[in-house]
């Protein structure tokens, strides 16, 4: 029986705290209860980086293959919620376009052109909400291009993902799932099925369906997972990076003086605030980790946000430092066999978006009338990212 006396910090942790600003609480847990029981989550929370790596590397002991897995409850079995040979069967048909050597050749020109188009659309106005006017539409366009999705309306797809994300958050928080998530997935299913039926030659979805390794519902589930990562977390990754730079003018000045720091800035932003804050696993056997006994069947939640600010690995971990050595040691894309398939493409998008924004929007700054900060239990990003910039006056 897990008691509040054994894990007082974990027992006192609230969902609201984890959704709003989890970092002070995560620091306490990491220092005193690195594997702690959180009644709010109904499971264990792992916050130390070395322990997080142990969990994610050991798929035999800590699995995603469990009917309680939140994303699987919404979209069904996929590469995200299977292990071993079954995981390989689901993942392999989608792997090739996302390999490091292929991403730049296949997508760089498209991503740069789409980022420029979106920024040019807002440039004359002098103000915008960047998350939904630039970051989100860019992520949708790139996912649609990479999967060969037909008729992908950016705002419609983003609304689907708002609903699906809300449902995943509900399940993680132990609340009843909002039926809007299932309805949104039905609309997504229709879009994927229409793409397969249309037999677009360049479509990765069509290739996966014709490979005969996956049935159509499995193609849909995996497409949903890829779009989930490619839209939800990439939108968050871009928005968080912009926010970190604009909220730290000294770091922004370093990047403007040396654009070669852009990749380092992206890695540091990923470390400081990963767009996916946690990943779930389930213990397949009784196991001791970090001196704590975990029982078979227990939920084990890995806090990527906590691991990424481990002071044993990152000096001054709460500071945003674009010159930080070792920022790539972050775990923002998870680790092990479930490492994010689209990590290289997400980096490419964020890089193109940051450079385009800073090049074409002079004096880019946060709107002081609309303060913002990342929030979210599972997926963290600013609810809105309102900015201003200088628009030259006509003579």
Q: Is the separation of the CB atoms in 193 and 220 below 8 Å?
A: yes
In a domain, 2, yes or no: no
121 inside domain: yes
2 pLDDT exceeds 70? no
Q: Assess if residue 13 is contained within a domain.
A: yes
Coil, helix or strand for 342? coil
**Average pLDDT of span 388-395:** 83
Residue environment code for 61-80, b if the CB has 16+ CB neighbours within 10 A, otherwise e = bbbbbbeebbbbbbbbbbbb
Residue 167 lies in a domain: yes
* More reliable by pLDDT, 354 or 155: 354
pLDDT tens for each residue of 52-73: 999 999 999 999 999 998 888 8
Residue 118 lies in a domain: yes
Q: Which residues contact 177 (CB under 8 A, 6 or more apart)?
A: 73, 74, 167, 170, 171
Domain count, the chain: 1
45 token code pair: 């929370």
Instruction: Identify the three-state secondary structure at position 228.
Output: helix
| Higher pLDDT pick, 118 / 228 | 118
User: pLDDT for 240-288, tens place per residue?
Assistant: 999 999 999 999 999 999 999 999 999 999 999 999 999 999 999 999 9
**Domain contains 36:** yes
Higher confidence at residue 373 or residue 224?
Answer: 373
366: β partners: 387
Q: Is residue 160 part of a domain?
A: yes
Any domain includes 392 = no
Residue 270 to residue 280: CA distance in whole angstroms: 19
Residue 263: closest CA among 190, 194, 149, 343: 343
CATH number of the domain enclosing 361: 1.10.630.10
Q: Note the pTM of the prediction, 2 decimals.
A: 0.92
Given the structure tokens 């990749």, which residue do they identify?
A: 263
pLDDT of residue 204: 83
Distance (Å, whole) CA 186 – CA 224: 11
Higher pLDDT, residue 383 or 152: 383
Residue 354: CB partners within 8 Å, gap ≥ 6? 238, 241, 242, 245, 262, 265, 266
Q: Look at residues 314, 348, 349 and name the one whose alpha carbon lies nearest to residue 331.
A: 314
In this prediction, residues 120-131 reach a mean pLDDT of 97
pLDDT at 129: 98
Domain housing 170 = 8-387
Best mean pLDDT range from 86-95, 182-191, 381-390: 381-390
pLDDT for position 112: 97
Residue 281's pLDDT is 97
| Confidence bin at 175 (pLDDT 50/70/90) | confident
């Amino acid at each position: 029986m897990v008691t509040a006396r054994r894990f007082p910090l974990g027992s006192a942790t609230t969902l609201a705290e984890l959704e709003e600003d989890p970092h002070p609480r995560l620091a306490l847990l990491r220092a005193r209860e690195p594997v702690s029981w959180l009644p709010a989550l109904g499971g264990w929370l792992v916050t130390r980086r070395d322990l997080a790596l142990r969990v994610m590397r050991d798929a035999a002991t800590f699995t995603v293959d469990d009917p309680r897995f939140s994303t699987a409850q919404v979209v069904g079995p996929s590469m995200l919620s299977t292990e071993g040979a079954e995981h390989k069967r689901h993942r392999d048909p989608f792997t090739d376009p996302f390999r490091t050597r292929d991403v730049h050749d296949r997508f760089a020109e498209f991503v740069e052109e789409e980022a420029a188009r979106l920024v040019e659309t807002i440039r004359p106005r002098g103000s915008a909400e960047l998350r939904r006017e630039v970051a989100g539409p860019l992520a949708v366009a790139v996912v649609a291009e990479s999967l060969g999705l037909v008729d992908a309306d950016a705002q419609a797809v983003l609304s689907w993902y708002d609903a699906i994300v809300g449902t995943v958050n509900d399940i993680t928080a132990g609340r009843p799932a909002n039926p809007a998530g299932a309805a949104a997935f039905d609309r997504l299913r229709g879009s994927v099925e229409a793409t397969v039926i249309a037999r677009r030659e360049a479509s990765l979805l069509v290739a996966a369906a014709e490979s005969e390794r996956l049935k159509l519902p499995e193609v849909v589930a995996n497409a949903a997972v890829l779009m989930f990562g490619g839209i939800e977390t990439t939108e968050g990754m871009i928005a968080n990076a912009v926010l970190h730079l604009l909220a730290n003018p000294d770091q922004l000045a370093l990047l403007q003086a040396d654009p070669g720091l852009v990749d380092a800035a992206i890695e540091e932003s990923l470390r400081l605030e990963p767009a996916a804050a946690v990943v779930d696993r389930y213990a397949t056997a009784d196991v001791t980790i970090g001196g704590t006994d975990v029982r078979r069947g227990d939920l084990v939640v890995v806090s990527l946000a906590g691991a990424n600010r481990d002071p044993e690995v990152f000096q001054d971990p709460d500071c945003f430092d674009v010159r930080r050595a070792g920022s790539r040691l972050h775990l923002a894309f998870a680790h092990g066999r479930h490492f994010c398939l689209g990590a290289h493409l997400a980096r490419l998008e964020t890089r193109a978006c940051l450079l385009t924004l800073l090049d074409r929007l002079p004096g880019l700054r946060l709107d002081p009338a609309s303060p913002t900060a990342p929030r979210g239990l599972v997926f963290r990003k600013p609810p809105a990212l309102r900015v201003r910039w200088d628009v030259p006056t006509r003579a």
